Structure formats: C-alpha cells, structure tokens
C-alpha cells in the first residue's frame, strides 16, 4: 500500500500531523508513506522516517490561482503525484489547493475534513467530521485514521537521527555543559507575543532561584527581540554568561535537539511549542488569542497560562483595540508555574 499525506504548512501544524505516521505504520506494516510539504519544513519531515518527502516551493503554492504564473510548477507536482499511484491520500490541510492535489492523484481513497475551507471537501470521497473547538488539532488529525479502520487512534511521534543533531549542537554551542531552560521569544502573530521585558525578568528570576542557564531561540527576524530579552534579563540581575541567544542560528533539527535537551521550554503559541511537545520536553505555554484546548501543548494543557478576557480566544493577528492582552500574564505567575512544574522548592 502507498499512502500520501498532504500537510504542507505551517510548522506546528506539520508537527501535529506527523503524529499519525507511527499509527499508519502499525495499521499497514508494509506500507510506503509519502509526505507533501513546503520545502521550508522538509528538514523536519525528513526526521520522521518517511519513505519519501515531496517538496514544493511556497511560490508555486501562492501562484496556484494565477492563470499565467506558477502553472508549470503545479503541473509538475500534479504529474508526479499522479505517477506515484497512491492507494490512499489524506489531506490534513483542507484548502482548495490541497484538495485539488488530493483529487489529481487518482487515489481510490481520498480522506479529508467535511468542513475543509474553500469547498475542498468536494475532492474527498471519505469525509471526516470533527468538532474543532472541542478537541485538539492533533486529535483532529487522528480522526482521519478512523476512515482506515483504526477505531482508537493514539498520537505518537518518532524522530530519527536526533542524537547526532544533539551531539553536533553541543559541539557548536556547548548546550550539555549545564542544565538549561529554553525560551521561544517570538511569534508570527503580534497578539501572541509576550513582552521582551517580561521574558527578561522571568529569565532573571529563574536564574536567581535555580542557577540554570537560559538559551533564547527565534527566527532571524526575531534576533532583536532576543537581544532585548537579554538586556532586560541582565538588568534584572541575571549573570551575562547565563543567558545566550541562539535566535536566527538554529536549523529546525537543531531546534528539536535544543528542546529535547532542555529542562523546560517556555513559549507562547508557536510552532516550536509543538516541536517541544512532540519530543517529550516539558513545556509552559503562554496563550491569548488562540484556544488552548485546540492549539495548546498536546497532553500538557495543565501547563498553559491563558489570559482571562471575554474576547479571548479572538484568533486575531492584530488587536483591533490596540490592547496588549498577553501583558496581563506576569513574570511572577510564569516563574511560579515553572517552579511548580520543575518541582523546585
């Protein structure tokens, strides 16, 4: 049997989707599993032990609706998918574009969500009904397996080659010299961001209480945020050598390695949060505009600190009232939760 899973983006969503892979292996021991993904996240998917990773450039995806641009790329992808002769295709993305690619494979079994956006459901012949606001995104993905006969699917992640990544990361940044916390200091949504001075004060308080080092991580666009966090941490009494910024320096696999080796990951609702959960790291998650039940750290919802406002979760990338709701979560509250999770008196 040959199975294709379509889940091109984003980082956290891809990680959540990969929870079905070990279960598919158990259901169909001799199956071949391919994954259709944005090339930006291919490195991550390649850690999951798949038989093939089909990469595409984001530009080709964006230009799908254009008559004159992107058509060559889409045609090449469509031909490749058709030639692979899949038995089963699972569309976890649920958009018109992913629905089209599901259909063009010609697979006899095409699974997708009944509430898929942009009328993508018309391309599926086995529709999955889920109550998205009542269950976690991981469980939504697992529901697709019921259409293949698995009545009680369970989430599981298996990553391959991480030990080599940990060794390499330690050689570069000496992460194993001391125990440490990892802070994910940025977010794509403005409304998800926690103030840098709050991260900084939290780092200082944790250092004073535990003596543990803090590594900061983020994208290249978030280097300035990490620098601001460091400034406020040192200003509040954190030793300069105890806080290190790796923002903009880590690949996806190195991010996994950092999270795996950390004592705990402090994060907002970000892709790295889901990465940390998938490798068994302890997480404390700060949440505002999104629903913790649906988007929080899987099976670690007790470690969520969420804002208490009538408008939450609003799912808005920018607040129309120019409020900074996440600032209602204090560093002291976060430190208390971390200490509780670490069982440190």
For 114-142, what is each residue's pLDDT tens digit?
999 999 999 999 999 999 989 999 999 99
Contact of 116 with 137, CB cutoff 8 Å = no
The model carries a pTM of 0.94
Q: Which helix (H) or strand (E) holds 163?
A: helix 162-173
The boundaries of every CATH 3.40.50.2000 domain in the chain are 2-148, 162-342
Fold classification of 162-342 (topology level)? Rossmann fold (3.40.50)
pLDDT surpassing 90 at residue 74: no
- How many CB atoms are closer than 10 A to CB 10? 15
Q: Any idea what the Cα angle at residue 22 is, between residues 20 and 26, rounded to 5°?
A: 110
Name the 3-class secondary structure at 295: helix
pLDDT surpassing 60 at residue 179: yes
pLDDT band at 29; cut points 50, 70, 90: very high
pLDDT band at 324; cut points 50, 70, 90: confident
pLDDT surpassing 50 at residue 67: no
* Average pLDDT for 161-175: 92
* Average pLDDT for 305-311: 91
Among left, alpha and beta (phi > 0; psi -120 to 50; other), residue 211 is: left
Name the 3-class secondary structure at 278: helix
Positions of E strands within 201-339: 213-217, 243-245, 264-268, 283-287, 304-306
Task: State residue 33's pLDDT score.
Answer: 99
pLDDT band at 62; cut points 50, 70, 90: low
Radius of gyration over every alpha carbon of the chain, rounded to an integer in angstroms: 21
| Residue scoring higher pLDDT (298 or 342) | 298
pLDDT surpassing 80 at residue 307: yes
pLDDT surpassing 70 at residue 64: no
pLDDT band at 59; cut points 50, 70, 90: low
Task: State residue 56's pLDDT score.
Answer: 86
pLDDT surpassing 50 at residue 345: no
CATH (one of 3.40.50.2000, 3.20.20.80, 3.40.50.170, 3.30.1490.70) for 2-148: 3.40.50.2000
Angstrom distance (rounded) from CA 179 to CA 214: 9
Angstrom distance (rounded) from CA 190 to CA 23: 36
């Amino acid at each position: 049997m040959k199975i294709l899973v379509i889940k091109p983006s984003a980082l956290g969503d891809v990680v959540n989707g990969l929870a079905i892979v070990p279960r598919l292996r158990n259901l169909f021991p001799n199956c071949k599993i391919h994954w259709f993904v944005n090339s930006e996240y291919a490195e991550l998917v390649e850690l999951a032990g798949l038989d093939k990773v089909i990469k595409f450039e984001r530009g080709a995806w964006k230009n799908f609706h254009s008559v004159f641009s992107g058509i060559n790329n889409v045609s090449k992808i469509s031909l490749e998918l058709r030639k692979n002769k899949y038995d089963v295709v699972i569309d976890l993305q649920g958009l018109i574009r992913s629905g089209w690619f599901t259909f063009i494979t010609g697979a006899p079994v095409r699974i997708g969500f009944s509430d898929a956006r942009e009328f993508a459901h018309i391309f599926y012949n086995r529709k999955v009904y889920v109550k998205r606001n009542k269950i976690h995104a991981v469980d939504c993905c697992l529901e697709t397996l019921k259409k293949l006969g698995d009545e009680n699917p369970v989430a599981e992640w298996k990553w391959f080659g991480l030990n080599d990544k940990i060794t390499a990361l330690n050689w570069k940044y000496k992460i194993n010299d001391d125990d440490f916390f990892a802070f994910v200091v940025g977010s794509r949504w403005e409304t998800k961001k926690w103030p840098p001075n709050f991260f900084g004060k939290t780092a200082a308080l944790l250092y004073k209480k535990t003596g543990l080092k803090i590594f900061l991580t983020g994208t290249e666009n978030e280097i300035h945020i990490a620098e601001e966090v460091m400034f406020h941490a040192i200003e509040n009494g954190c030793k300069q050598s105890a806080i290190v910024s790796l923002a903009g320096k880590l690949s996806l696999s190195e991010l996994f390695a950092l999270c795996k080796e950390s004592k705990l990951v402090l994060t907002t609702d970000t892709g790295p949060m889901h990465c940390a959960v998938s490798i068994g790291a302890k997480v404390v998650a700060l949440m505002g505009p999104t629903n913790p039940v649906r988007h929080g750290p899987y099976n670690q919802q007790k470690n969520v600190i969420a804002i208490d406002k009538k408008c939450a979760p609003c799912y808005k990338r920018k607040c129309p009232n120019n409020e900074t709701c996440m600032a209602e979560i204090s560093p002291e509250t976060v430190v208390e939760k971390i200490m509780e999770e670490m069982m440190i008196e």
